[in-house]
Amino acid sequence: MHYLPKSIVFFLTLHALHATARQSANFSVTGTLNPTACGVSLSNGGVVDYGERVAANSNATEFNQLGSLTLEATFTCLSPTQVAMQITDNQANSSNVSITPLIDGGEAGGAPADDRFFGMGLAPNNEPIGNYVIAYTNGNADGSATDSIQSSNGRSSWISDGSGTAGPGGVSDLTQQTWPSSGAMAPLAVNNATMTLKISAAIDDMTTINAAADSIIFDGSSTLTLIYL
């Protein structure tokens, strides 16, 4: 037990002897002090699973709508805090603006703008597989149902966006979504809040991504970040 401290001192001493040309060294002290402790969690471990599909049962010449699935996002703060959520696309280089996912597979909601598309990765032939969009729905703040508000200009202003879609960046800036104060277009300080993330996806035609020859792995990935306001 006595040899370890000695060996460390010896190493440092040798280092100092061979570094005579340098009389000083820099160090940094880093960290983050947040206004209060807040956390976020996603249902199903954050996995949106469209399951296994057979290429022969999909359209060979037109886009294929996969429909909508949901995740529940839960936010918990130790004291009332103004926070927002921001979603970043980790596969932005695979997004293809020509592939339009319809919210609820076209049953309702229509088509979102192409600057709201998130990529699903590349097929083995290097073609984009498809896109998905994320709609914010079913907001709840401290037990009360609420719509949501959104900012796409760095929080300079907020607009009503009850079931709007997340903007991952690219054509537009990243969007941020939060819960509004009663009767005001301003963020609400919350203890416990939830939001349903409705994910709607579409993939390219089977011919373009060569699905008859290759196994296609959907590889969408996004990061939800909690932002203190």
Would the pLDDT of 152 be above 50?
A: yes
The C-alpha atoms of residue 225 and residue 12 are separated, in whole angstroms, by 42
pLDDT exceeding 90 applies to what percent of the chain?
A: 35
Q: Which residue has the tokens 């290429």?
A: 55
Domain residue ranges in the chain: 37-228
Least confident interval from 17-31, 75-89, 156-170: 17-31
> Residue 27's pLDDT band (boundaries 50, 70, 90)?
confident
Answering whether pTM is above 0.85, one says: no
- pLDDT class for 16, splitting at 50, 70, 90? very low
User: What pLDDT does residue 142 have?
Assistant: 96
Q: How many other CB atoms sit within 10 Å of the CB of residue 26?
A: 4
Q: Which residues contact 156 (CB under 8 A, 6 or more apart)?
A: none
Considering the chain, what percentage of its residues have pLDDT values greater than 70? 79
Give CA–CA dist 202/95, Å, rounded.
Answer: 11
Q: Using 50, 70 and 90 to split pLDDT, how confident is the model at 18?
A: very low
At residue 7, does pLDDT exceed 60?
no
**Per-residue pLDDT tens for 82-101?**
999 988 888 999 999 899 89
Sign of the Cα pseudo-torsion (185, 186, 190, 195, in order): positive
Model confidence pLDDT, tens digit, residues 154-166:
888 898 875 578 8
Structure tokens at 93: 């280089």
Residue 188, pLDDT score: 95
Is the pLDDT at 170 greater than 60, yes or no? no
